[in-house]
């Protein structure tokens, strides 16, 4: 069977994660929510610790705690403290409590590095089902609410005038982000998830003239980075998650050079 090959499973896992993360990453870039993604991803480590302690599925624990963190961040930001302060405190606190919690687990063999930086080569068929199921859910949710999400992102006042509740759309975005974090933690790791969200979207910006085009280009770049990073990791014997992010960074550098050259040519 094709899925018996660990490289095939890894490639499918990377592609599924990239397809879910890239369009959502466009909203993270447009809303300047990078630290929000960090806080949600770091909270997933605490969810993993709770899952292992309670003998629950890791995906379920990571998803529930990521959702709780995302909701908490949404509630606290803007209440007398700067968003960067609240997000910084919550992100690093959740990561620290998660790592400390893992250290207390007795009789449970835990590879903390795999959860921090990903372990895509150990993805199983069951993991693939979770990843692609989560990706399908996120893509369906974003497609269903695309116009409302975009309007609420670009102009909340216009959204209200059109009968769209910006807070509701923010909650939908929060749920989608938590799902992406939960499915991506096995592939890319808690410390690198935000990079997979942001870098492809930022790389796509110079090539896109519409938000829809940016989302599609970001998805294509994310899939390309996942594939290139996986192949490079196999050839060079490097950590796969960080190598995927390195491939994304190279694409971002290339898009930045392209944008700079295009701007210079237009100014002449």
pLDDT of residue 109: 64
Superfamily of domain 2-191 in CATH is ABC transporter involved in vitamin B12 uptake, BtuC (1.10.3470.10)
Nearest alpha carbon to residue 49 among 100, 90, 93, 92 = 100
Position 225 scores a pLDDT of: 92
Residue 8 CB coordination number (10 Å): 14
Per-domain residue ranges of the chain: 2-191
pLDDT of residue 82: 60
The pLDDT profile of the chain, 268 residues, written as one tens digit per residue, is: 455 577 888 888 889 889 888 888 898 888 877 777 777 777 888 888 788 777 777 778 888 888 887 777 777 765 555 666 777 777 788 778 877 877 777 666 666 677 777 788 788 888 888 889 988 999 998 999 898 999 988 888 888 888 888 888 888 888 888 888 888 887 887 778 888 888 999 999 888 889 999 999 999 999 999 999 999 988 888 888 889 999 999 999 999 998 888 878 787 7
Please answer whether residues 176 and 144 qualify as being in contact, where contact means their C-beta atoms are separated by less than 8 angstroms.
no
What per-residue confidence (pLDDT) applies to 208? 85
Q: How far apart are CA 186 and CA 44, in angstroms?
A: 11
Write down the residue that tokens 């372990």 correspond to. 119
pLDDT score recorded for residue 214: 92
The pLDDT of residue 83:
63
pLDDT for the residue numbered 164: 87
Task: Give the per-residue pLDDT at 29.
Answer: 87
Give the span between the Cα atoms of 1 and 8, in whole angstroms.
Answer: 10
Query: SS3 of 107, please?
Result: coil
- In contact, 120 and 245? CB cutoff 8 Å: no
CA distances 111 to 49, 103, 119, 192, Å, are 12, 11, 10, 16
Copy the structure tokens of residue 218. Answer: 């970001």
pTM of the model: 0.84
CA-to-CA distance for 63 and 47, rounded, in angstroms?
7
């Amino acid at each position: 069977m094709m899925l018996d090959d660990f490289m095939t499973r890894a490639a499918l896992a990377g592609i599924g994660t990239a397809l879910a993360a890239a369009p959502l990453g466009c909203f993270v870039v447009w809303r300047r929510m990078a630290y929000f993604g960090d806080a949600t991803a770091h909270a997933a480590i605490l969810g993993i610790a709770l899952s292992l302690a309670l003998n629950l599925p890791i995906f379920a624990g990571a998803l529930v705690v990521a959702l709780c963190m995302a909701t908490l961040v949404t509630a606290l930001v803007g209440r007398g403290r700067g968003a960067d302060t609240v997000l910084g405190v919550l992100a690093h606190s959740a990561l620290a409590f998660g790592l400390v919690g893992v250290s207390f687990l007795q009789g449970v063999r835990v590879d903390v590095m795999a959860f921090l930086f990903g372990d895509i080569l150990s993805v199983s068929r069951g993991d693939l089902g979770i990843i692609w199921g989560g990706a399908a859910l996120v893509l369906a949710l974003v497609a269903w609410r695309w116009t409302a999400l975009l309007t609420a992102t670009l102009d909340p006042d216009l959204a209200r005038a059109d009968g769209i509740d910006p807070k509701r759309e923010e909650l939908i975005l929060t749920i989608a982000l938590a799902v992406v974090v939960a499915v991506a933690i096995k592939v890319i790791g808690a410390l690198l998830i935000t990079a997979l969200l942001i870098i492809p979207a930022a790389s796509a910006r110079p090539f896109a003239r519409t938000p829809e085009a940016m989302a599609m280009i970001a998805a294509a770049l994310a899939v390309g980075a996942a594939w290139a990073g996986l192949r490079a990791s196999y050839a060079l014997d490097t950590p796969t998650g960080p190598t995927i992010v390195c491939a994304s960074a190279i694409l971002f550098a290339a898009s930045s050079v392209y944008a700079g050259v295009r701007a210079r040519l237009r100014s002449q």
